[in-house]
Structure 1
């Protein structure tokens, strides 16, 4: 991807999140990115193509975030890394801003993208199975839901005590 394409996607993500997808025209994106509208059409076809590219970018970044977790062979260490992930993202200002914007778009357009969590879910199920939990699928589902809520809370509420929540979850899972 070229530098201009990245700038277009960054500005489109920012504008879609701030002004809403429906209210943001490709001409606004072009102006914010300092490119011609024609360049947007050449690279992304239309506004929906921009959105698809932004969502794909989110999926790729999610894979990067989860890669260290899903490859972890030790089940307790896998759970620890996953539980610590929202705090790690929150401490990285650029990553936090990116995910904040991604969340806003997904809420507006009612897109969840659960498929991007499939590999992580399988890894969590395997970890809970290795740790001999009675219902590893349910434990994995519960932890995914808790962490989704924790990530959302951490993004929306700067004063939320994520350290306390993280410590509680580590204690709960004995890691």
Structure 2
């Protein structure tokens, strides 16, 4: 009985590791080559698993993509959660400005994929950023900006552009740029 339980734990751990390898391999390929250009066979080869195992865990390539998106959205919610909990308007602005500069290189593929999916109608969710937009609008209202909703929208559009440049490796003066934005908004 004890050996059987031990074998089940080892099997579960191996399956979890393989499932994670599938997710990570798909993420890398989807983010860098695109979802349409990536076959499940290619994912399986990169992950070192059989193609059948992908279908066993995720049913389809779309199911695999949905699992990655769900994982990414959980990460985003955690990161945005800190901003949303702020009660000081300057802290809301400061934390929002800092956000794209805090993305770890190990998570670039998640963000690359998020930006790619914005062009896929099925996965584009324009309301995803609404809670942050509303929080920024509140912050700019509290600070008596003339056009708080437009200022919030402008900030998010600017930070999205900055995020894209960071992910592409084009923004080499990140710290200077971050300090410039902090100074500009006196946050």
Query: TM-score interval w.r.t. the shorter chain?
Result: 0.7 to 0.9
How many matched pairs? 172
Paired with 1:116 and 1:107, the residues of 2 have a C-alpha distance of 11
Paired with 1:39 and 1:157, the residues of 2 have a C-alpha distance of 35
Please give the per-residue CA displacement for 1:6-25, whole angstroms capped at 9, x wherever unaligned: 22111001112333322221
Indicate how the Cα distance of structure 1 residues 107 and 129 shifts in structure 2: closer, same or farther if over 3 A, else same: closer
TM-score, normalization: structure 2?
A: 0.81
1:106 is aligned, of 112, 117, 123, to 117
**Partner residue of 1:44?**
58
Higher radius of gyration, 1 or 2: 2
TM-score, normalization: structure 1?
A: 0.85
Please give the per-residue CA displacement for 1:30-55, whole angstroms capped at 9, x wherever unaligned: 22212222221122111111122222
**Partner residue of 1:53?**
67
Deviating more after overlay: 164-173 vs 147-156? 164-173
2:157 is aligned, of 139, 145, 162, to 145
1:12 is aligned, of 17, 26, 43, to 26
1:78 is aligned, of 82, 92, 116, to 92
Please give the per-residue CA displacement for 1:130-165, whole angstroms capped at 9, x wherever unaligned: 112222211111100010011111111355312222
Kindly indicate whether the alpha-carbon contact (under 8 Å) linking 1:86 and 1:150 is maintained by their aligned counterparts in 2. yes
Map 1:156-167 → 2, pairs under 5 A: 156-167=168-179
Paired with 2:102 and 2:172, the residues of 1 have a C-alpha distance of 14
Q: Which residues of structure 2 form unaligned runs of 5+? A: 1-14
1:63 is aligned, of 77, 102, 112, to 77
Q: Which residues of structure 1 form unaligned runs of 5+? A: none
Paired with 2:163 and 2:112, the residues of 1 have a C-alpha distance of 10
Aligned: 1:32 with 2:46: yes
**Structure 1 vs Structure 2 CA RMSD:** 2.2
Please give the per-residue CA displacement for 1:54-101, whole angstroms capped at 9, x wherever unaligned: 222222211122111111111101111111112211xx2212343235
Map 1:83-102 → 2, pairs under 5 A: 83-89=97-103, 92-102=104-114
